[in-house]
Structure 1
Amino acid sequence: MSVYGYHCSHEQFSPVELLHCVQLAEEAGFKCASASDHFHPWNERPWHAAFVWTWLGAAMQSTHLPFRTVSAPGYRYHPAVLAQAGATLAFMYPDRLWMALGSGQRLNEAITGLPWPAKAERNARLRECADVIRALWAGETVTHRGLIVVEEAKLYTRPESPPLIVGAAVSPETARWLGGWADGLITVAGGPAEAVKPIIDAFREGGGEGKPVLAQAKVAWGSDETELRHDALAQWGTNLFAGDVPWELRTPEQFEKAAAFVREADLDLRITISSDLGRHVEQLHAYAALGIDEILIHNVASNQRAFIEAFGRHVLPQLRNS
């Protein structure tokens, strides 16, 4: 049976507002939470991009929820520093953190001035970083010289049980590759369930059978559907691109320019938009039928508190009782 969580979108809302929201989400019946890890938001409008590792300490202290976040090691995060961040939270809050790792986006990672390599090299760098992080969590003193360099690093504060390393993928090819070494998969779901099924199948075929599968489900809910669609486009229209575009653009301004011709009709390809709560129940059921273990619901609209209340009262009970 799937577990349903609340996604904290640090690109959209302030860390103070998100702390209130995740506390409300726990009270409303959400059973886990995820939080995005961005240096830049998706556009230049009055958005946010807080440091998620600072925020996670406050969120985990003030709730009892397990948390997941996707980070990209090897660029703005040296893998030893990321390993220390995860180990500290897992030491303080045992069995409540899964660290998801991905190959990254230029939007966030290019700030260090390092060259931005092709996808194949980014994947190789990701795998090296994951191996370093696991070795550090195991108590080893690590020296590594490859695509990333580590010199005699050792963690002295480590949890008894290290976090899972969950791999992030939005294509079947990456998911199949992750199946052989990651402890789980996290992907994105927003349109028809049939669109995400090949990614999950590829992960399982590549060695991920029996490992947890997580999906961030993109939804938009509000009482007035016309206003809702306007809001969803304003909030998330800069994040609807297919192919390599999302990984290659450098600045929020470039995302805004690329989204100049995105229209409301384009939202439906990647987001379940409806003022009908029953429609959301139906769509989330369809994702659960794929065998997804955790469905992390991201309401892309601006009405976070109303969404939490409505889903807590009307949607989550139906999902739990089905």
Structure 2
Amino acid sequence: MPIVGWHASHEQIPPSRLLADVQHAEDVGFQAAWSSDHFSPWSERQGESGFAFSWLGAAMARTRFPVGVVNAPGQRYHPAISAQAVATLAEMFPDRLSVALGTGEFSNEHITGEPWPHKDVRNARLRECVEVIRALLAGEEVTHHGLVHVDRARLWTLPARPPRLLATAVSAATARWAGEWAEGLITIWQPEDTLRRLVDDFRAGGGEGKPIALQVHLSWAPDEDEALRIAHDQWRTNLFEAPLCWDLATPEQFEQAARHVRPADMHGSVLVAADPKRFVDWVNDAADLGFDEIYLHHVGQEQRAFLDCFGEHVLPEVAA
């Protein structure tokens, strides 16, 4: 069976409370955690956005399980800084860190004041960043001039083994491209046929035998109407397909785009239910598609009741 982990959403929860949540997730039986890395939330109702790397140091010191984080080097992060951040964490917490590298979203990257490149350019920039990060993690001195510039950079603090560098992808085309260079893949819940094509294309592109992870957005409450209300309140600004979701700049723009999203529309992107058995079935369906790791993100801001419910009713059934 796959590893079942918990997702820490910095856009929704203050980092101090998120720290208590990740400890509780481990206590109730989750096997790993994943972390977002945003500069701003998707809506004013979410209302948070702590710095992921600060939080990761505390979270990994307070837990024992593996932890992963998304990172978009190239604009908001210089790749040498990304490399230094992950090298330091991997040195302190050996063999526990994974990093999923992606091309980013304008909502986070526009803060630098630099132009937002076309997706093809962002892909090329990411490949350059990956090569820079890998060379730095190997202890090399790096000078590079292209879409990113690096001058005689060297990491003086290195882990015994570098962390996994995965790719993020939401389309089969990106997954196939990622198979060429990534050590694994992470994607989000989509229709079964879409996920099957994405998995197949990643493997066909060079990802055969590499781990594949899935992030699942869900909303649980003891009452299904309440679960749907939570999903609509917190996650209706997150339903838009690419390229719209990549290219909006501010929470206000996401709010404007979501003006006509109805509660019933949430079911396409968020698994909404009150009965824990339905989540067991959904996780098992994802496992049948070939996912090695599944990270559950309850889109509500209060996590403890969700963690307790899933620790008692979902995780044991999945493991069985």
Partners of 1:252 and 1:218 in 2: CA distance: 19
Match of 2:5 in 1: 5
* 1:287 counterpart residue number: 286
Contact 2:7 2:34 in 1 (8 A): yes
Moved more, 5-14 or 219-228: 219-228
Which runs of no fewer than 5 residues in structure 2 stay unpaired?
none
**Partner of residue 158, structure 2:** 158
Task: Determine the structure 2 residue equivalent to 1:169.
Answer: 169
Read off the aligned partner of 1:135 and give its amino acid letter: A
Equivalent position of 2:178 in the other structure: 178
User: Once the two structures are superposed, what CA deviation does each residue of 1:240-283 show, in whole Å capped at 9, x if it has no partner?
Assistant: 01131100000010000000011112111111100011111001
Please list every run of at least 4 consecutive aligned residues from structure 1 whose deviation after the TM superposition is greater than 2 angstroms.
191-195
Cα offsets for 1:39-66 (capped at 9, x unmatched): 0000123510000000000000000011
1:30 is aligned to 30
3-state SS, counterpart of residue 268 of structure 1: helix
Partner of 1:137: 137
**2:301 is the counterpart of 1:267:** no
Amino acid at match of 2:105: Q
- The answer on whether the counterparts of 1:102 and 1:167 sit within 8 Å (CA) in structure 2 is yes
Letter of the 2:177 counterpart: W
Please state if 1:90 is matched with 2:90. Answer: yes
TM-score (norm 1): 0.98
Q: Is the 8 A contact 1:2 1:295 kept in 2?
A: yes
| Partner Cα separation in structure 2 for residue 227 and residue 32 of structure 1 | 27
Question: Any idea what SS the aligned residue of 2:284 has?
Answer: helix
Note the C-alpha offset of 1:193: 3.0
Take 2:302 and 2:228, find their aligned partners in 1: how far apart are those partners? 12
The more displaced of 295-304 and 174-183 is: 295-304
Q: CA deviation at 1:230?
A: 1.1
The aligned amino acid for 1:147 is: L
Query: Match for residue 102 of structure 1?
Result: 102
Output the CA distance in 2 between the equivalents of 1:34 and 1:119: 25
Aligned residues: percent identity? 52
Alignment-derived partner of residue 200 in structure 1: 199
Counterpart position of 1:245: 244
Q: What residue in structure 2 maps to residue 116 of structure 1?
A: 116
User: Alignment partner of 1:278: what SS?
Assistant: helix
1:212 and 2:195 matched: no
Q: Partners in 2 of 1:305 and 1:246 — Cα distance? A: 29
Within-5 A mapping of 1:10-21: 10-21=10-21
Alignment check: 8 A CA contact 2:45 2:234 kept: no
Q: Give secondary structure in 2 for the equivalent of 1:24.
A: helix
Query: Offset of 1:301 from its aligned partner?
Result: 2.2
User: In the alignment, residue 230 of structure 2 is paired with which amino acid?
Assistant: D
State which drifts further: 195-204 or 155-164: 195-204
Opposite residue 242 of structure 1, the aligned amino acid is E
- The alpha carbon displacement at 1:192 in A equals 3.9
Tell me how far 1:106 sits from its aligned partner: 0.2
Q: Which runs of 5+ in 1 are unaligned?
A: none
**How far 1:215 moved relative to its partner?**
0.7
1:114 Cα offset (Å): 1.1
When the two structures are aligned, how many residues end up with a matched partner? 320
Shift of 1:218: 1.2
Once the two structures are superposed, the pairs formed by residues 216-231 of structure 1 within 5 Å of their partners are 216-231=215-230
Give yes or no for contact 2:166–2:182 (8 Å, CA) kept in 1: yes
**Separation in 2, partners of 1:193, 1:48:** 32
1:199 Cα deviation from its structure 2 partner: 1.1
What corresponds to 2:307 in structure 1? 308
